[in-house]
């Protein structure tokens, strides 16, 4: 944790070793200087820091990118009051490694989801193709072995093929909707009927 203590005029009077390492400014040079001159990375949070003095309460800002190299920190500012004056302590906890691991975990979960989705899609498409290929094979067998097929049978086969084609089309539309991140409309339905 980087720790910096300062007074209400933002003059630093404590600058710990971790802060020295992070800023490359030795404590001897930092003591007595303005917080924002020494540590411009916290300038965007100056409103929050001033509220610590005004409201005399702790401020916490989590998961903020402080440096341009995308280092992530949790920023805490605590009031310290004695009988004569107001002071504050700024604490920065480096959570860059944790943030990196969480990003890797999120990516891993996305890839697992994509794998599961691909497996489910392959299964659904195989079912649809099975219907199409099966019906075409039946038509072919009827023609090959009996050299005759009733018009009603043809209509029945065509109906099954059409339903399978519509299922495939619906599946593709759902995939495109998911890929485009369109708003999905949810409706109630009966599980028993489905």
Residue-level pLDDT at 66: 61
pLDDT per position as a tens digit, 115-140: 787 788 888 888 898 999 998 998 88
Residue-level pLDDT at 5: 93
Q: Using DSSP, state whether 147 is helix, strand or coil.
A: coil
Q: Are 138 and 167 in contact (CB under 8 A)?
A: no
pTM equals: 0.51
Residue-level pLDDT at 6: 92
Residue-level pLDDT at 71: 73
Residue-level pLDDT at 182: 55
pLDDT by 10-residue block (mean), the chain, 194 residues: 91 93 91 92 85 77 62 83 80 80 83 79 87 89 82 89 90 75 73 86
Residue-level pLDDT at 67: 61
């Amino acid at each position: 944790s980087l720790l910096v203590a300062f007074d209400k005029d933002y003059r630093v009077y404590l600058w710990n070793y971790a802060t020295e390492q992070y800023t490359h400014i030795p404590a001897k040079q930092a003591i007595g200087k303005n917080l924002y001159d020494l540590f411009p990375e916290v300038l965007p949070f100056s409103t929050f820091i001033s509220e610590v003095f005004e409201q005399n309460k702790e401020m916490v800002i989590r998961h903020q990118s402080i440096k341009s190299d995308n280092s992530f920190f949790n920023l805490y500012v605590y009031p310290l009051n004695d009988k004569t004056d107001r002071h504050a302590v700024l604490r920065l906890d480096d959570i860059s490694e944790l943030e990196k691991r969480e990003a890797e975990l999120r990516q891993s979960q996305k890839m697992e989801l994509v794998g599961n989705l691909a497996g489910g899609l392959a299964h659904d498409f195989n079912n649809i193709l099975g219907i199409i290929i099966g019906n075409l094979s039946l038509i072919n067998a009827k023609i090959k072995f009996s050299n005759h097929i009733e018009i009603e049978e043809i209509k029945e086969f065509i109906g099954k093929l059409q339903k399978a084609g519509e299922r495939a089309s619906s599946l593709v539309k759902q995939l495109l909707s998911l890929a485009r991140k369109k708003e999905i409309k949810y409706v109630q339905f009966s599980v028993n009927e489905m």
